[in-house]
Structure 1
Amino acid sequence: MPRPARFTVDQLLDAAASIVAADGAAAVTVSAVARAVDAPSGSMYHRFPSRAALCGELWMRTEERFQNGLIAVLERSGERQDRVAAGALYTVQWCRDHADEAQVLLAGPDAFCRSEWPTVLEDRRKTLHRRLIRQLRDMGGPVDRVTAALVDIPSAVVRRHLAARSRIPATADGIVVDCARALVPRD
């Protein structure tokens, strides 16, 4: 009978995200994660057969967590402008609340061996992106303005703070909300 696993996939991916936050995406290896949680490298390969599989799972879990929360905010009832402003604010707050995972998003998928991901991960990513695109279109109004308000501006506002590994100031909230309201008219 095999021994029960000492670590969940989430615990291993949390360790990988911590490595990204401390040392960058290039430092994430199967061995580094194993050392971080004091697990045998061999047991890691049962979960992640390659560095690309580990990195791909880390990216996908992070992107899914972020986008699922964003979509939940956007699906709330209310005026489009208010929902877009709430979505922009969500991005800033999510980055504050999930500092290690925000560093994963900052690095981008190509820093996590994207060209080597197993097909199943690429398929998951395409499905996730289709869902977000559908939600952006369902918001109504010009999609490019909604996208700028929800994605481009909040990302730009938090990027420099994440890159400097500094706290995202409270003033960022007002900036992204004001920009969202300026870009997306009331219903």
Structure 2
Amino acid sequence: MAPPRKHDTDVILDAARTLVLREGPRAASVAAIAEASGAPVGTLYHRFGNRNGVLTAAWLRALDRFQTGVLGAAAAQDDPIEAAVAMTAAALTFGRERLEDAKLLLNLRPRDLLDGAPDSEFNDRLAAMNEPLFATLSRIARGVYGSDGERELDAVRRAVVDLPYGALRRYAYTDGFPDWLDADLVAATRALLAT
């Protein structure tokens, strides 16, 4: 059995995320991340390969946390409209509970973070992570509209992606989310899908 890691990966990724959000992506050098996390530079290179590896891991961790919540919420609902509503509610829960991760996803694309474009390994991993999300959107479209064609998928994306994304983006840098936001977005998701 391997010995436990001395420097927790989440602490390292949290430090990278904080540097990016406070000072911008260029401030998140390996040396700065090491200093902020308390992990030696060698540990970061060994575990992540380079700066891009650390920042990619931080961004993908945020995406995984988001998708785990929204996909789990949708899977718990048999009714397609209720699945869509659950996804909207879960997106807001993610924003409240993991605000720093939400800010990272809302404001920075991988190409904004990295030195150079994301590599094929990243693109393959992102595609694999997004596959269940796309399948869920298709399931909702088929359940609501009887088809998962381009127009039907677009309608579902407006209701469960664009709507919560816009609200999260607006409130992510305020003192908090208004208490009424959940009820309003849930009602809006239902209304968009019912028309």
User: Is this a same-fold pair by TM over 0.5?
Assistant: yes
CA offset at residue 4 of structure 1?
Answer: 5.9
The aligned residue for residue 174 of structure 1 is: 183
Q: Deviations over 1:94-129 (max 9, x none)?
A: 111001111111223232228443432221101112
Q: Does 1:122 align with 2:123?
A: yes
The aligned residue for residue 14 of structure 1 is: 14
Uncovered stretches (5+) of structure 2, i.e. residues with no partner: 146-151
Partner SS, residue 194 of structure 2: coil
2:25, 2:113 within 8 Å by CA — same for their partners in 1? Answer: yes
* More divergent stretch after superposition (9-18 vs 146-155): 9-18
1:57, 1:121 within 8 Å by CA — same for their partners in 2? Answer: no
Q: TM-score if structure 2 supplies the norm length?
A: 0.84
Uncovered stretches (5+) of structure 1, i.e. residues with no partner: none
Q: Deviations over 1:11-48 (max 9, x none)?
A: 21122222234333333222221111222212211112
- The two structures, once aligned, show a CA RMSD in angstroms of 2.2
Identical aligned pairs, as a percentage? 27
- Pairs within 5 Å for 1:142-161: 142-161=152-171
Structure 1 stretches of 4+ with a deviation exceeding 3 A read 2-5, 114-118
Specify whether residues 156 and 137 from structure 1 end up closer, same or farther in structure 2 by C-alpha distance, changes over 3 A only: same
Distance 1:185 1:114 in 2: 44
Opposite residue 160 of structure 1, the aligned amino acid is R
Q: Deviations over 1:26-78 (max 9, x none)?
A: 33222221111222212211112221111111111111111122111111133
CA offset at residue 84 of structure 1?
Answer: 1.0
Q: Does 1:58 align with 2:58?
A: yes
**Corresponding pairs, count:** 184
The aligned residue for residue 91 of structure 2 is: 91
Specify whether residues 24 and 172 from structure 1 end up closer, same or farther in structure 2 by C-alpha distance, changes over 3 A only: farther
Opposite residue 52 of structure 1, the aligned amino acid is N
Q: Does 1:36 align with 2:46?
A: no
Distance 2:71 2:175 in 1: 27
Q: Deviations over 1:159-180 (max 9, x none)?
A: 1222x34312222212211110
Q: TM-score if structure 1 supplies the norm length?
A: 0.87
Specify whether residues 151 and 114 from structure 1 end up closer, same or farther in structure 2 by C-alpha distance, changes over 3 A only: farther
Distance 2:38 2:10 in 1: 15
CA offset at residue 184 of structure 1?
Answer: 1.2
Distance 1:114 1:80 in 2: 41
The aligned residue for residue 148 of structure 2 is: none
- Pairs within 5 Å for 1:126-137: 126-137=127-138
Distance 1:54 1:157 in 2: 29
2:81, 2:193 within 8 Å by CA — same for their partners in 1? Answer: yes
